[in-house]
Amino acid sequence: MKNYLTAVISALFMMLMMVILPASAAEIQLYDEGNRLKTDEFVEVAERLNEAAENINMNVVAILGSEVRSDTTIESMADSVYDQLYGNKTDGICIYIDLSSAAHPYDYISTSGLGQFYYTNSSESNRVDSMLYAVEKYLYPIGSEDAVGALKEFANQLENYYEIGIPDKYWVYDDVYHEYYHVENGQIITTSGKPYIDTANLVMGGIVGLVIGLCAAAITSASVKSKYKFMYQISPTTYLNKKTVHYTEQSDRFIRERTSRTHVSSSSGGRSGGGSHHSGGHSHGGHGGGGHHR
């Protein structure tokens, strides 16, 4: 499979119609495997993608695939083509649009570097999925897809989510490098553990601990009072008996001491959260992203 994929990618570089616009902080490359685009359409789309790449300051790769390929091959191709062009963990994004006329075409987006944070794929913030659905409306009926409209919409989506910005406390876990990533001051920071404490869980844990402590204190107090309560009616003359007065003071002192001890133990409890407010994104070998069938 690896040798096959390498051969396919090599052929893609050698045979496909390709454009590389003038070098800048961000570049775009467009591959039209089946020559679906006319020359003027190709130039039009390339210019729009280049505009988006400059606005988001990331590399953008678009592949219009015409061969029938498995989902796994498409995913690996998107990651590999991007890495061969710009290198692993650089800032960018690659979209593979399946124009093979397969029964259920598979479109895929691969993200890299800061691209993983603007174009998210967590359960709470799945922008990649939203982008694919936005592009998808131009890809019907199968066999007569509007590739120009799809790629222009992709460019719109790139600018839209870049403008919205990175979700608060968003992090990514890479299951190959076993590292967590988050962004501080525009730079990706690598850690061995989740980078954010879940404040909501922390506060909730403290509240639960406090409630448990108060309940324990109330139960203890009621139990002690029941155990030591007087078996006869109290009257002013009772306090003339020294033994009875002494016993009352002992009981009172014991209750205060026990209640205080229970309260201190409970208030020192609580638990810290294990993640950030947002669920984390997933990455594999430096690439995030996602795909779905039409």
Q: How confident is the model at residue 265 (pLDDT cuts 50, 70, 90)?
A: very low
User: What is the third-level CATH fold of 2-194+280-293?
Assistant: Diaminopimelate Epimerase; Chain A, domain 1 (3.10.310)
pLDDT at 129 over 70: yes
Write out pLDDT tens, residues 63-83: 999 999 999 999 999 999 999
Q: How far apart are CA 212 and CA 220, in angstroms?
A: 12
Residues in the chain, overall count: 294
Q: How confident is the model at residue 205 (pLDDT cuts 50, 70, 90)?
A: very low
Can you give the pLDDT at residue 250? Answer: 39
Q: How confident is the model at residue 272 (pLDDT cuts 50, 70, 90)?
A: very low
Can you give the pLDDT at residue 3? Answer: 61
| Average of per-residue pLDDT values in the chain | 78
pLDDT at 48 over 60: yes
Residue type at 48 in one-letter notation: R
Measuring CA to CA, which residue among 142, 111, 153, 168 is closest to residue 282? 111
pLDDT at 252 over 70: no
pLDDT at 117 over 90: yes
- Domains of the chain, by residue range, sit at 2-194+280-293, 199-267
Asked whether the whole model's pTM tops 0.85, one would answer no
Cβ 45 vs Cβ 135: under 8 Å:
no
Cβ 276 vs Cβ 118: under 8 Å:
no
Give the pLDDT mean for 105-123. 98
Residue type at 155 in one-letter notation: A
Can you give the pLDDT at residue 64? Answer: 98
